[in-house]
Amino acid sequence: MIAPGDTIDPHLESWVSVSPGSDFPIQNLPFGVFVRDGRARIGVAIGEQILDLSETADAGFLDDAGERELLQAPVLNPLLAAGTGTWRALRERLSALLRVGGDAALREVNVERFFCRQDEVEMRLPMEIGDYVDFYSSIEHATNLGRLFRPDAEALLPNWRWLPVGYHGRSSTVLIDGTPVRRPCGQRKAPSDTEPEFGASRRLDIELEVGFIEGPGNQLGRPIPVRDAAEHIFGLVLVNDWSARDIQAWEYQPLGPFLGKSFATTISPWIVTLDALEPFRVQGPVQDPQPLSYLRVDERWAYAISLAVDIRTQQMEERGISPQTISQTTFAGMYWNLAQQLAHATANGAVTRPGDLFASGTISGSEPGSQGSLIELTWNGERPIALADGENRRFLEDGDEVTLRGWCERRGARRIGFGAARGRVEPA
Ligand code: CA
């Protein structure tokens, strides 16, 4: 019997080879969906390998940790619906099978059947996403965007410090890492123009975000209180909420983002569970004014996740120049946290279902170079970013590839990471 919390012990080692600095040591064990022999399967990343849970369950190695059908589904939704008891039992079982000095059952059989290399398979979206919500929970980002979009008004609107502002995005255009992003067309109108015109966006941008995945969901009329949030949140992924600023600026009032956002949202393929992130839980920022009672949290609900945005232009790639990091920031400083976001999203009795995606909103810090979008980093294009090959960027050009990365490290814990969320811009 393995004690709870044992799976994050920094001294654990796997008998599967894990290189130093890997995002996926045995303390992580993130869940994803990959294609093998023409069939989508659930897997867990370990080092550079994937443990195929479909095969592992089929061989009977996971019978103590949930029904085989959950693990042989082509998506994670049935497992998400099963809840924290099943998730934790499965995680503990997987850790025992993969660790040095654990249960040797898997190691002693023909392991080729159970593993494949991450770089040899195609990843899929890990779950069917019924609903996708995007929040706006970084006070630095909301302040910067307020200044840029409404220069003559108060940067933060009066509701911002009272509730986690959000909008419903388009779940059917959530894309897995590596999917190309076509430059969108739409209506755009500069303030000086008398009429709008239709055409390809000239101000294509990224938004660096972290999203959480809903587990069991709730029933109509039954809000999820902040104290129950941990029973509902399966894990986190990186999210790039691609944004066409010219389309957005013209369309967004009075009902919020629409076609300037709905053309593409990229997520990283591996869902890092809350259990794996436990060593990196930290106290979030002080909230002033104190939130209304349904949004008050006592527990630490911020996560110290380091984040970076890399860009590689077509010319950089052709010249063999490495991707350049244009932003580095942390998730720890977000004003509104995951528990508050989920409690607020269901406070009116609205339904959430297994696999729903809730993204944080753009993550920006206050230091130069810590903003999660180009519109902030270049201050609406006024201060272009100089790239290593002599080019510069205000917004994205065709052929640019953007990579989001995320990882957690602190003394006394094993470093874990999220992998990447990549996308390359294709012409309109
Ligand atoms: Ca966003």
CA angle 325, 331, 334 (to 5 degrees): 130
Q: Which residue has 């419903």 as its token pair?
A: 168
CA 46 to centroid of ligand 1, rounded, Å: 30
- Specify burial of residue 297 (Cβ count, 10 A radius: 0-12, 13-18, 19+): middle
The reported pLDDT for the residue numbered 253 is 87
- Which among 141, 168, 232, 344 is annotated as catalytic? 141
Tokens of 316: 């950089």
Phi-psi region of 390 (alpha: psi -120 to 50; beta: other; left: phi over 0): left
pLDDT at residue 397, rounded to an integer: 98
Q: How far is CA 140 from the centre of its chain?
A: 19
How far, in Å, is the centroid of ligand 1 from the Cα of 243? 8
Distance of CA 214 from the midpoint of ligand 1 (Å)? 18
Phi-psi region of 225 (alpha: psi -120 to 50; beta: other; left: phi over 0): beta
**CB atoms < 10 A from the CB of 103, how many?**
15
CA–CA dist 346, 28 (Å, integer): 29
pLDDT at 4 (0 to 100): 44
Tell the burial category of 375 from Cβ atoms under 10 Å away from its Cβ (0-12, 13-18, 19+). Answer: buried
Fold equal for 5-124 and 132-426: no
How far does the centroid of ligand 1 lie from the alpha carbon of residue 136, in Å? Answer: 7
Specify the CATH number of the domain 132-426: 3.90.850.10
232 is catalytic: no
pLDDT for the residue 18: 97
At 110 the pLDDT is 74
Domain 5-124 has what CATH class? mainly beta
The ranges assigned to domains in the chain are 5-124, 132-426
The 3-class SS string of the chain reads CCCCCHHHCCCCCECCCCCCCCCCCCCCCCEEEEEECCEEEEEEEECCEEEEHHHHHHCCCCHHHCCHHHHCCCCCHHHHHHCHHHHHHHHHHHHHHHECCCCCHHHHCCHHHCEEEHHHCEEECCCCCCCEEEECCCHHHHHHHHHHHCCCCCCCCCCCCCCCCEEECCHHHEEECCCCEECCEEEECCCCCCCCEEEECCCEECCEEEEEEECCCCCCCCCCCHHHHHHHEEEEEEEECCEEHHHHHHHCCCCCCCCCCCCCEEECCCEEEHHHHHHHEECCCCCCCCCCHHHCCCCCCEECCEEEEEEECHHHHHCCCCCEEEEEEEHHHCCCCHHHHHHHHHCCCCCCCCCCEEECCCCCCCCCCCCCCHHHHCCCCCCCEECCCCCEECCCCCCCEEEEEEEECCCCCCCEEEEEEEEEEECC
CA of 130 to the centre of ligand 1 (A): 18
Whole-structure pTM value: 0.97
Distance CA(228)–CA(280), nearest Å, equals: 20
**328 Cα to the center of ligand 1, angstroms:** 17
User: What is the whole-number distance in angstroms between the Cα of residue 392 and the centre of ligand 1?
Assistant: 24
pLDDT string in tens for the chain (428-residue length): 344 479 999 999 999 999 999 999 999 999 999 999 999 999 999 999 999 999 999 999 998 777 889 999 999 999 999 999 999 999 999 999 999 999 999 999 878 899 999 999 999 999 999 999 999 999 999 999 999 988 999 999 999 999 999 999 999 999 999 999 999 999 999 888 999 999 999 999 999 999 999 999 999 999 999 999 999 999 999 999 999 999 999 999 899 999 999 999 999 999 999 999 999 999 999 999 999 999 999 899 999 999 999 999 999 999 999 999 999 999 999 999 999 999 999 999 999 999 999 999 999 999 999 999 999 999 999 999 999 999 999 999 999 999 999 999 999 999 999 999 999 999 99
